[in-house]
Amino acid sequence: MELSWQGRPGLDYLPSSPTLFNAGTLHEQLSSCFLLDSPPDSLEGVYEKYKDIALLSKFSGGIGIAWHRVRSEGSLIRSTNGLSNGIVPWLKTLDSSVAAVNQGGKRKGAACVYLETWHADIEAFLELRDNTGDDARRAHHLNVANWVPDLFMKRVEAGENWSLFDPKDVPEFPDVYGGEFDRAYAQAEAQGLARKTLPARDLYARMMRTLAQTGNGWMTFKDKSNRACNQTAQPGAVVHLSNLCTEIIEVSSQGETAVCNLGSINLGRHVGAAGFDFEKLAHTVEVAVRQLDSVIDLNFYPIATARASNLRWRPVGLGLMGLQDVFFRLRLPFDSEPARALSRQISEDVYFHTLRTSNELARLHGAHPNFADTRAARGELQFDAWGATPTNPERWRHLAREIEIHGLRNSLLIAIAPTATIASIAGCYECIEPPISNLFKRETLSGDFLQINGYLVDELKQLGLWTAGMRDAIKLADGSIQQLEAIPAELRDIYRTAWELPMKSLIEMAAARGAFIDQSQSLNLFIANPNIGQLSSMYMYAWKQGLKTTYYLRSRPATRIAKTTVAEPMPGAEPDSAATACSLENPAVCEACQ
């Protein structure tokens, strides 16, 4: 603990907000995330899950829950000879239950439901967040995510059909992945078990529409998440879902509720005069891993299945924040070659030092009990699953030998969380994200706050360009400086907002980083004015790049709020001044060109 304390006052590293909320209270529930396997297909099973979720939510945990095993609409209930209403009424109840329990009175309860793409109720599931239609079939507070098998994406690409099944007919589907799933799926189709068959692209288009209209319906990929998970070395160990922020990838079952303690390194504070300070990073990582590991033992577990799982696997999730601060400090455009290389190297080093620390902890306290069941025990590390090679193979070979001898204290180490709360505390940009604007309003529980890009202001001050007029111009342009010709092109390139960067480069950077992330990352994507064609291309690319998960699709409203604090005169009302702003026909009176 002493080590940890040395880091905190400087904000080099911050534990997650649940840790900050609950440390030192009566029930020290310090974990951020809980992942629950789908309730079994029975009334008792469903109600047991509601209870588990309420107990976890009470102590500030975000909930991820799968719903793959619950039978679909129209399925026969043998004991009463009635027909099931499908998953929607259950999720409506879950919605109310989650809203009723707020997280320790500090934050609204929050849950995300995962559904596999073959479930016969998938279409109704995708409409849960719509603001039209029967309110009894809507869940306004739940988040929804797609748990997508590779086979679906392949069929979308090939323009083939897709079949939907009732889980009662195919109870084995949630517990198989990869080739095994493909075979089970083909067999079920051949046996004529499908409830409905439709063009795969039609369903894909609906998924894209849900993303565009609600930002929800996150695309997360089942097969890659399983293939590249350290916990799935043994048959039967399966990842059934991700969590509320799509950065946790852990196995779960009826007896094991996955838990993760999170914390993030503030990268902006690791830049020195000579560039990025990898030595300081190594130290911070070590402190962070020790802090996160100790949370596992200190933690209060609201339900027994969570405790059971966590003590066996001892997973933690060390994340990053302020990547954009690093780029601003080094004056690198977000998607430039040097920025990409640095981003990858940072992730490689973080992964290396987390493993090294976890290995040292194993030497002191022993490996985690399930170590023998992990891929690491067979010498496989994350980058092997991605076919990537580390830049410094010698240190990795050495580390591999140490792991072979002593094992690891933790089965999982890296997860890049959104860091919305702690980035505000630390005063840096969120996780691995570019800013949405150079001037924006952060809406939080405690109120709304204006955030201005201090790096940009400093640059403009140095150029003598930071004036009241400049401030208003940036405000009128909604925080963009791309059209402000007075600012040098080089700066405009560096200070592009998330709306102005190609998403392709964000995805590629995420994939390059992914080889060193044993869980996953909360990767938001930004398209101001989305359409189905663009989204379907983008998510297909994300899947092909091998991402395990994507997070929110952020877009912008169709019309804007009228500006209160800067006036825009009616066009045509003042013809003289409008013409003077830029008139190529009459350059003599044009002040802009002088």
| Span 404-443, contacts to another protein by CB under 8 A | 418, 420-421, 436-437, 439-443
Which of the stretches 86-94, 101-109, 182-190, 380-388 binds another protein when contact is defined by CB under 8 A? 101-109
By CB under 8 A, residue 132 contacts another protein = yes
The verdict on 560 binding another protein (CB under 8 A) reads yes
**Cβ count near 460 (within 10 Å):** 22
CB of 419 to another protein, least distance (A): 10
Is residue 245 flagged as an active site residue? yes
Applying the rule CB under 8 A, the residues between 236 and 255 that interact with another protein are 244-245
End-to-end CA distance of the chain: 63
Distance CA 300, CA 56 (A): 11
Residues in contact with another protein, counted by CB under 8 A, come to a total of 84
Contact 322, 426 (CB under 8 A): yes
Minimum separation from the CB atom of position 590 to another protein (A) = 21
Q: Are 441 and 448 in contact (CB under 8 A)?
A: yes
Q: Does 561 interact with another protein (rule: CB under 8 A)?
A: yes
What are the backbone angles phi and psi of residue 197, rounded to the nearest 5°?
Answer: -125, 135
CA distance 80 to 100: 31
Q: Does 215 bind another protein (CB under 8 A)?
A: yes
Q: Which is nearer to another protein, 81 or 564 (by Cβ)?
A: 564
- The answer to whether residue 449 forms part of the interface with another protein (CB under 8 A) is yes
**Interface residue with another protein, options 77, 205, 457, 484 (CB under 8 A):** 205
List Cβ neighbours of 336 (8 Å cut-off, separation of 6 or more): none
Answer for the pair 525, 217: CB distance below 8 angstroms, yes or no: no
Residues numbered 53-72 forming contacts with another protein, rule: CB under 8 A: 62
Helix residue ranges, H only, 547-589: 575-581
Q: Which of 116, 247, 348, 430 is catalytic?
A: 247
Task: Identify the active-site residue in 22, 143, 243, 299.
Answer: 243
Q: How many CA atoms lie within 13 A of 112 on its CB side?
A: 28
Nearer CB in complex with another protein: 304/567: 567
Please state the closest distance from residue 143 (CB atom) to another protein, in A.
7
Burial 265-301 (b: 16+ CB within 10 A, else e): bbbbbbbeeeebbeeebbbbbbbbbbbbbbbbeebeb
Q: Which of 191, 563, 579, 587 is the binder for another protein (CB under 8 A)?
A: 563
Report d(CA 226, CA 363) in Å as an integer: 28
Note whether 13 binds another protein by CB under 8 A: no
Catalytic status, residue 247: yes
Q: Which two tokens stand for residue 373?
A: 């069941």
Between 135 and 297, CB nearer to another protein: 135
Match 């799509």 to its residue by tokens.
246
Structure tokens belonging to residue 577:
């001044």
Q: Does 533 bind another protein (CB under 8 A)?
A: yes
**Angle made by CA atoms 411, 416, 417, in degrees to the nearest 5:** 110
- The single residue among 275, 425, 529, 593 that binds another protein, judged by CB under 8 A, is 529
Residue 197 interacting with another protein (CB under 8 A): no
Q: Binding string to another protein for residues 262 to 301, with x set by CB under 8 A, is what?
A: ----------------------------------------
209 touches another protein (CB under 8 A): yes
Q: Which residue has the tokens 């967040």?
A: 129
Report the catalytic residues.
243, 245, 247
